[in-house]
Amino acid sequence: MCYFCGVPRVVAVALAAALLATIAASASADIEGAEFESGAWRVRMSAPKNWQLTDKTAYPSILLRMARRAPDGKMMLAAERLAPGINALGYAQRTADILRQMGFQVRSPQLHSSTGAYFIDSDGRGAFLRQAFLASGGIGYSLTLSAPDNRTRSQHLRAFDYALRSIQILRAPPPPPPAPDDEARPLEPPPSPIDPGAADQDVQP
């Protein structure tokens, strides 16, 4: 099944570029039923009912794709390393600027109060999008909904909201214990010095 055939190739590539899909790190992930988890990117998410999941994507930073039929809709979850100081609002604004440069009509970022994410609506080149952005621990997360028209996008907003609310940022694992260092080990006490007087007593005349 082609999960993003409804999105023009140029739009799919643009979205990947907007999300800086140039990350070389591999992202192992697990799908169990409607549950998705990526330990490498420290994120967990639940798919809405009747949405099919796949973690087979062409870009390393796109972690998950979801799709459904009647009405057609696609969603994808992506992650990337953020530059220091970039928060969710800055992340959303940066993507909005890229889409505007490509000719998309983009609304200004709005706060999703229950999750702290910022989301934008945009349309252009045959795609109607909603994207939400989160930032935590130097990682940016984005959830994108794509639909062929505004009405279909509106029909999928409840599913999008469900997916967004289900996103959980996992705690980073504790650092491994330091490797043993020979130089750090306590030195054995040196032998006691020899008493010259005692040595003389041991000498037989």
Which of 166, 143, 158, 164 shows the shortest CA–CA distance to 63?
143
Residue 20 has pLDDT above 60, yes or no: no
pLDDT of residue 15: 56
Longest distance between any two alpha carbons in the chain, whole Å: 116
CB 63 within 8 A of CB 29: yes
Segment among 23-37, 57-71, 91-105 with least mean pLDDT: 23-37
Max mean pLDDT among 1-10, 172-181, 188-197 falls in 172-181
Burial class (CB in 10 A: 0-12, 13-18, 19+), 160: buried
Q: What is the CA radius of gyration of the chain?
A: 28
d(CA 56, CA 160): 20
**Among residues of the chain, what percentage have pLDDT more than 70?**
70
